[in-house]
Amino acid sequence: MQTNPHPANAITDDTPIPLHARLIAPTALSEAQRLTLHSLCLLFARAVNANMTRWLGVPFTASLAGVERVPFYEVIHSPEAETRYATTLAIGPASHPALLQLDLPLVYLFVELLLGGPGGTSLEREPTEIEGSIVRSVVDLICRDFSTALSSPELEIRNDASLPARSIDRLMPTMDSTLSLSFDLLCDTQRGRIGFVLSSEAAKVLIRSLDGPPKTSRQTSPEMRNGLLTRLQRTMHLATLQLPKVRIPLSVVRGLTPGEVLTFDLFEDTPAVFSIAGRPAFYASPVDAQSRRGAYIAAPME
């Protein structure tokens, strides 16, 4: 998942949301939806800033850092996951799964401040049971403010720590196309980040809510619709099948020789991505197809 390395440069009220390229066609956001989502995130940031400052007794600032569609396996296997506190959430009456991630230094700062300490402790371990109960109260406040900003019963966010931290990889299918909303935080002098990772089903509910009441669409005759569909089906589009992007040190690149096997920092079950007209559409695997190369379509990228 891409991150903003400079929390101080987080997004302000007038800055467009940095929607990354993986916001693909079926779930991409229109300009109107982006503006609506931006406004909702600003409402959340203002509310949580006021409430956390009052509750913790120190200055607290949250600002939108990014919105991204990313497969769930990249969320749970990212290097940052090792240094983050994670808890499961439930969204709406259908209890769609979601994940909240919070940098561990902020977790212990919250605990120490709520216990009356000066807030200078910096630890890199999992919270104890008592510390976890304090952190859950912080998560409850954050979820309440986010639910209020979204202002829809279908998007009420609840703390649902039904899975232990070591089992979070079972929260969603590994290839689920999640929607990640991340915020840069500044609590007193400690910087960090909080992220909401919504399952594809929860993301669909959120995106639908951004449109407001349904609009009456222009009626098209079946003959015209079928004629347009027939012409569209004859159009040709460029397609590619490729593995996700990886980082390779320059020293490795300079030392490459023909016949050498280059190992990527990817898990064995990481699928390739089949893109059509430059837009990722399916998870797939390369196969032989009657003396030609082909693609086995595993699952759509929702």
Q: At what angle do helices 104-114 and 31-56 cross, to 10 degrees?
A: 40
CATH topology of domain 9-209: Chemotaxis protein chec (3.40.1550)
Q: Which pLDDT tens digit goes with each residue over 198-244?
A: 999 999 898 888 876 655 556 777 888 888 888 888 888 888 888 88
Which helix (H) or strand (E) covers residue 282, if one does?
strand 279-289
Q: Domains of the chain: which residue ranges?
A: 9-209, 237-300
What's the order of all strands across the beta sheet hosting 292-300? 239-242, 272-276, 279-289, 292-300
Residue with tokens 């509910």: 205
Q: 127 near 85, Cβ under 8 Å? A: yes
How many residues appear in the chain? 302
Structure-block tokens of residue 165: 């931290």
Which helix (H) or strand (E) covers residue 137, if one does?
helix 129-150
What pLDDT is stored for residue 239 in this prediction?
Answer: 87
The answer to pTM > 0.85 is no
CATH topology of domain 237-300: Surface presentation of antigens (SPOA) (2.30.330)
Structure-block tokens of residue 192: 């960090």
What's the rounded Cα separation, in Å, for the pair 86 and 82? 10
Structure-block tokens of residue 154: 């279908």
Q: Which pLDDT tens digit goes with each residue over 67-124?
A: 888 888 888 888 787 788 888 999 999 999 999 999 988 888 898 888 887 766 555 5
